[in-house]
Homo-oligomer: A and B are copies of this chain.
Amino acid sequence: MELHRIGIIGLGLIGGSIGLDLQAKGHEVCGLVHREITATRAQERGLAQLVSTDPTIIKDCSIVIVALPLQQLIEPTQELINALPANAVITDVGSVKKPILNKWKNLHPKFIASHPMSGTIQTGVEAGQRELFKNKPWVATPDQTTDPEALKVVKNLALTLGSNWVTTDAETHDQAVALVSHLPVFISASLLAAVNQETNNEVLNLAKTIASGGFKDTSRIGGGNPSLGVAMAMYNSESLLKTFSTYRSSIEKFEKIIFHKQWDKLEQELEQTQINRPDYL
């Protein structure tokens, strides 16, 4: 990839990590952040060569990565829109693509909707780290209005960071993330909510004493950041509700099999889930 001056708006986990890797590859990185205190810390951590709260910092960039939280990507401020250089290739990092693509394709002719799929539980200016995207999928969701040259630029950017480049349509992306990323949050949260509904205190106290690895793993993402869960539900509700309906039928099926003591059938179902799981690892 030829060297660029690249703007990154937002230097949290995703933006900061991209900034570190791009500088290591020789690019010039200009970071735009909201607060002075973040700018100071981002500069100290070397997340970009130049960091400012002044939108003009990105005016000469040929690529701009908008690495803001989902809500700010779906409802961008006029100030953000005005800051985007007219000739630059613009991409985002949002975890839901249909509402972002629908919004941004009318805002900028060289916008590429994309989703680098990696993360840690860290957030904020301290979270950025090297090689976060290495060997991880970077999904782009072009449509018929997408500029093919701009798409190539973002593809090269993803490859430079070591990501596996994947393209699909926004609808397919949003359904797939609903299934394997958003639905599990609510499955897991429902387990915690169900256990907490136990009214027999002796059972509840014993449950707390004996909960072990299986419970810990199954409940992990249901005990995560509430705002993230709300954003997933809010911006991907159509796809998510489809997966809820499928999931409910799965859980009801297991319940019926157990109620009717169909043990051979239960064994077959569990053999199937055992066979299926490695496909997702």
Which residues of A are at the interface with B, using a C-beta cutoff of 8 A? 117-119, 136-137, 139, 164, 166, 168, 172-173, 175-177, 179-181, 183-198, 200, 202-204, 206-212, 214-227, 229-230, 233-234, 237, 240-241, 243-255, 258-259, 261, 263, 266-267, 269-274, 276-281
Contacts and interface: CB of A to CB of B under 8 A. Distances in A.
A261 B187 CA distance: 18
Contacts of A215: 180-181, 184, 280
A137 B226 CA distance: 31
17 contacts: A136-B212, A172-B203, A183-B194, A184-B215, A187-B190, A187-B218, A190-B247, A194-B243, A208-B279, A219-B277, A223-B276, A226-B274, A229-B266, A234-B263, A237-B258, A237-B259, A248-B248
Task: Say how many copies of this protein the assembly contains.
Answer: 2
B206 A166 contact: yes
Contact of A194 (B250, B269, B280): B250
Given A202-B168, A270-B230, A179 B193 contact: no
A89 to B, nearest CB: 23
Given A190-B253, A196-B276, A230-B263, 18 more contacts: A137-B210, A168-B202, A172-B206, A179-B195, A180-B210, A180-B212, A183-B194, A184-B214, A184-B219, A188-B218, A196-B272, A214-B220, A218-B218, A219-B277, A219-B280, A226-B270, A234-B263, A245-B255
